[in-house]
Amino acid sequence: MLDQNRLTHLQTLEAESIEILREVAASFERPVMMYSIGKDSSVLLHLARKAFFPSKIPFPLLHVDTTFKFREMIAFRDRTAEEYGFDLITHTNQDGVRDGINPFDHGSSRYTDIMKTAALRQALTAGRYDAAIGGARRDEEKSRAKERVFSHRNASHAWDPKNQRPELWRTFNTRLNPGESMRVFPISNWTELDVWTYIYSEQIPIVPLYFARPRPVVERSGTLIMVDDERLPLNPGETPKEEVVRFRTLGCYPLTGAIRSDAADLPSIIMEMQASRTSEREGRLIDSDSVGSMEKKKQEGYF
């Protein structure tokens, strides 16, 4: 592991992230780790296991289930929780379920507000969590590039981007007033390539949806949507086609675009990514509603 008394780039990033995770465990009373089941969450989970070994992860993992996640994601989540024995909390906005909120009838923006952003706020408030750890990276999106590692939220979970706390060295200010909370991003300084190479070198299990396979899809305004279950309404004359596709990010299946790809294993994914000329979040429909949409969501409490 040690090469001439120098850590490699990935070892440096890993150690930094572990330090951040330990700082959370040591400084907060009720931390929670957001578990979105995606590749970044898988890396985060792996880092948390390393940070506290041989202890178990000293905080629960929280999954906000919008009820429209890919079925493979849910299966993977439950298998992973069982294998590693962490404390898994799932939360769904029951008001949304009662009102039958879905992305088709209510639009992606309103659906996300209710089933994701509001649901997250509900879960954080209900759990009285004072720190929520997330897997966001600064290379993902412009407003994320600006966010602190320890990102302060007021009592209504809102982010004030114009007035962030200074963050010096790795001396994090973890102090809060009653009702306030912290969002913590241990892999802020990782790039997408770092995440993939780390998954490869550490052999971290990820949801198979990342790997190319024949899947039933429909193409809508240039985006490939996978028909994961019968809830996806088909337009007149639209029939699902089997295509070899994979996903670069995972979320709610009606809102997550697939890409045509033959990359069926990690090396091919990494190679494909190196050649790729589009950014990772392009496949996410929620970001493209308007310029600054991510920042707006974050101010409202979205991760």
Partner 1 sequence: MSAIPATADNSLDLWLAQQTEKSLLRFLTCGSVDDGKSTLIGRLLYDSQLILDDQLASLKKESHNRTVGDEGIDFSLLVDGLVAEREQGITIDVAYRFFSTDKRKFIVADTPGHEQYTRNMATGASNAELALVLIDARKGVLTQTRRHSFILSLIGVKHVVLVVNKIDLVDYDQEAFDRIVAEYRAFAEPLGFKSLAAVPVSALRGDNILRPSENTPWYEGEALVPYLETIDVSEDRTTEKFRFPVQWVNRPNLDFRGFSGTVASGTIAVGDEVLIAASRKPAVVSRIVTMDGDLDHAIAGQAVTLVLDREVDISRGDVLSRPGETLDYSNQFQARVVWMNEEPAYPGRSYLLKIGTQTVPATITDLKFRTNVNTLEQTAATKIDLNEVATVTLNTDKPIAFDPYASNGRTGGFILVDRISNATLGAGTIEFGLRRAQNLTYQSFDVNREVRAQMKGQSPRIIWFTGLSGSGKSSVANLLEKRLTAEGRHAYILDGDNVRHGLNKDLGFTEAARIENIRRVAEVARLMADAGLIVLVSFISPFEKERRLAREIAGDTDFTEVYVDTPLEVCEARDPKGLYKRARAGEIKNFTGIDSPFEPPEDAELVLHGAEAGPEVLADQLHAFLKL
140, 280 contact by CB (below 8 A): yes
Query: Which H or E run contains 181?
Result: strand 181-184
* DSSP assigned state of 114: I
Q: Which of 73, 217, 266, 285 binds partner 1 (CB under 8 A)?
A: 266
Interface with partner 1, residue 156, by CB under 8 A: no
Interface with partner 1, residue 15, by CB under 8 A: yes
- Scanning 94-102, 119-127, 175-183, 251-259 for contacts with partner 1 by CB under 8 A, the matching segment is 175-183
Beta partners for residue 258, in sequence order:
224
- Scanning 73-81, 115-123, 126-134, 250-258 for contacts with partner 1 by CB under 8 A, the matching segment is 73-81
Q: Cα(151)–Cα(155) distance, rounded to whole angstroms? A: 13
272, 280 contact by CB (below 8 A): no
Total Cβ atoms within 10 A of residue 221? 4
Tell me the two tokens of residue 224. Answer: 């490939």
The minimum distance between CB 28 and partner 1, in angstroms, equals: 12
- Calculate the dihedral angle through the C-alpha atoms of 174, 179, 180, 186, rounding to the nearest 10 degrees: 60
Interface with partner 1, residue 222, by CB under 8 A: no
Q: Tell me which residues in 246-265 interact with partner 1 (CB under 8 A).
A: 264-265
76, 37 contact by CB (below 8 A): yes
Shorter beta-carbon distance to partner 1: residue 39 or 63: 39
Q: Build a one-symbol-per-residue string for 113-142: x at contacts with partner 1 by CB under 8 A, - elsewhere.
A: -------------------------xx-xx
The minimum distance between CB 82 and partner 1, in angstroms, equals: 10
Q: Build a one-symbol-per-residue string for 200-219: x at contacts with partner 1 by CB under 8 A, - elsewhere.
A: xx-xxxx-x--x--------
Q: Which of 171, 221, 235, 239 binds partner 1 (CB under 8 A)?
A: 171
Q: Cα(16)–Cα(2) distance, rounded to whole angstroms? A: 16
Interface with partner 1, residue 7, by CB under 8 A: yes
Distance (Å) of CA 185 to CA 151, 152, 156: 8, 11, 19
Shorter beta-carbon distance to partner 1: residue 138 or 157: 138
Q: Which of 270, 272, 300, 303 binds partner 1 (CB under 8 A)?
A: 270
31, 25 contact by CB (below 8 A): yes
- Crossing angle for the helix pair 266-275 and 192-202, nearest 10 degrees? 160
Interface with partner 1, residue 160, by CB under 8 A: no
The minimum distance between CB 137 and partner 1, in angstroms, equals: 9
The minimum distance between CB 211 and partner 1, in angstroms, equals: 6
Interface with partner 1, residue 65, by CB under 8 A: no
Q: Cα(213)–Cα(289) distance, rounded to whole angstroms? A: 29
